[in-house]
Amino acid sequence: MEFSAREIADLLQGVCEGDPDIRVSQLAKIEEATKGTMTFLANPAYTNHIYSTEASIVLVKDDFQPEKPIQGTLIRVKDPYGALARLLELYKKSNPEKTGLSKLAFISPRAQIAENTYIGEFAYVGDGVVLGKNVRVYPHTYIGDNVHIGDDTTLYSGVRIYENSRLGARCTIHSNAVIGADGFGFAPQTDNNYKKVAQIGNVIIEDNVEIGAGTTIDRATLGSTIIRSGVKLDNLIQIGHNVVIGENTVMAAQCGVAGSSKIGKNCMIGGQVGISGHLTIGNDVKIAAQTGVSSSIEDGQIIMGSPAMEASQYKKSFVYFRNFEKLVKRIDELEQVIKKLKSY
């Protein structure tokens, strides 16, 4: 589909500067854009590309002041990145959606399937499953007994949802995520063996949650592992049994959260962060990548390092970490001097 600069500006409530009738049919990165495409400038680090890009239309911030001539048409908006996100969402919705129930899928006669649901080839839908309206279940997905899934939720190929899990509306679960596998519960025995502790809880995922590919969320031992509304989990994350993650918290790839820890709302957690079990992480906490968290954190803190410490303290300490070898050498030299002085 083609759109004119005027149409896009009206849609985004922006201001068109240049040829309002120029048309585009694709989106592209600013350094790779060609004629007939639209791009955006949100990060100042890419400003130099706006003077050489061949894009027909460029989204820019409303206060952007060019230092050289620009060949494309500008659309000035308050938030270029947010405007692009809106366009990408509209573009995605314009693609035809999968519909219907494949004859090659297994759907239990005791499952309840709402209208306009898609279930692809070789998917499995167990007894007592309830699927809301507009649910999308892609091929090779497993949905265990008594799972409830809300309206407009999408499960991509290879997702595994264990029995009794609850998923809200407008969630997206990417390929090979596993929801509701047993928590890591083993009781040590006197003969150095371990006895498995039955995990009889479930997983509750509230509305507007996105879970990345390969991420695993364990069922609770008792009660529920809970992912609150608006949470965004990246790929390859491990969430242990009985963990609770608060509203609108985001977590980057390869993080691990051990059992029974509670994470507050609006937290931002970088990649490869490890959080020990039975901790409480407050609201609005920011945790830098590769941080090792072994104690609870109060609201609003910014932490980094392993073991974790307040970010400004870590940065000061890092000056000494970096020069540790030199400091040790100086101490050794001073000890030798003191030893000689004592010998007199």
Distance CA 329, CA 342 (A): 20
Q: Is the separation of the CB atoms in 38 and 28 below 8 Å?
A: yes
Q: Is the separation of the CB atoms in 310 and 302 below 8 Å?
A: yes
Helices (H), ranges, the chain:
5-12, 80-94, 311-322, 324-343
Is 241 part of the annotated catalytic residue set? yes
Distance CA 113, CA 205 (A): 19
The single-letter DSSP state of residue 236 is: S
Distance CA 47, CA 44 (A): 5
The single-letter DSSP state of residue 151 is: T
Q: Is the separation of the CB atoms in 237 and 251 below 8 Å?
A: yes
Residues 6+ apart with CB under 8 A from 93: none
**Which of 49, 148, 174, 241 is an active site residue?**
241
140-147 LR contacts (CB < 8 Å, sep 24+): 144/180
Distance CA 39, CA 323 (A): 45
* Residues noted as catalytic: 241
